Amino acid sequence: MITIREHGSVRELQLDHPPANALSPDLVDALERAVSAAPGEGVRGLVISGAPGMFSAGLDVPHLLTLDREAIATAWRNLYVLLKSLATSPIPIAAAITGHGPAGGIVLALFCDWRVMAEGNWKIGLNEVQVGLPLPPVIFKALQRQVGPRQAERLAVGGLLLSPTAAAACGLVDGVVPAERVVERAVEWCQSLLTLPPEAMAMTRREARADLAALFDWVFDRELDQVVESWWSPEAQTVLRGLVERLASKKAK
């Protein structure tokens, strides 16, 4: 589910779970393993990319709706483990957002160091409220860290989806480039850090990201319990199942 490409000392991890790179439990596990393994394999920077036009459509809702309570709890816990691995990685990580990146797509990017998005008619944003799910606290805090308190409130409460230009304007992404250059630009960003004195860069980066890493310092069982309960709420189940039915109807046509 991950295609690996080497760009010198920078490794690209391309999500490879057609058609929408939806974050199934298997994809989450594969990406976490790849992120965690890279530093020990001599990799000095990572780029996480997607398919042209589709970075990730977020959680694999059709699949997750088939799971029981225990499996859902495991899926959410493993997603948090992946986010912690991104937040605490000893090497820089850039997100090359190659197209649409709603919900879980932008969540992955928020825990990376830097985000560049492809120009085009794509949408990105934390639209969890639109599908009946409250935004989990650790994700809201990462959003707040990225765009500031007022913008985080606006984006999260409204469940807004933004164009690449609007996302850059509010700081949700750090840059927008032509689609054919998005991976190249992410690799360039990583390589620019690697030209710096390595110990000074690594120590300063670690200090700069300490607040993000600290989100995972405490035992978050209570938060995960709340997230799982929200998943099983009547409102969320009704909205999510309606979404899946509409998607199935579109495919049938």
Q: What one-letter code names the amino acid at 102?
A: P
CA–CA separation, 227 and 120 (whole Å): 33
Stretch 30-45: mean pLDDT: 98
Q: Which residues of 13-35 are buried (b: 16+ CB within 10 A; e: fewer)?
A: bbbebeebbbbbbebbbbbbebb
Token pair 């390595």: residue:
198
This model's pTM is above 0.85: yes
- pLDDT tens string 238-252: 999 998 888 787 777
The residues, any chain, with a CB within 8 Å of residue 17's CB and separated by 6 or more, are: 1, 24, 26, 27
The separation between CA 211 and the C-alpha centre of its own chain, rounded to angstroms, equals 18
Kindly report the average pLDDT of the chain as a whole number.
95
Task: Give the strands of the sheet with 99-102, arranged side by side.
Answer: 53-54, 99-102, 124-125
Q: Which fold has domain 2-198?
A: 2-enoyl-CoA Hydratase; Chain A, domain 1 (3.90.226)
The separation between CA 244 and the C-alpha centre of its own chain, rounded to angstroms, equals 21
* Domains of the chain, residue spans: 2-198
The residues, any chain, with a CB within 8 Å of residue 123's CB and separated by 6 or more, are: 100, 101, 102, 161, 162, 163
- pLDDT tens string 153-209: 999 999 999 999 999 999 999 999 999 999 999 999 999 999 999 999 999 999 999
Among the listed residues 74, 1, 8, the one whose alpha carbon sits nearest the alpha carbon of residue 34:
1
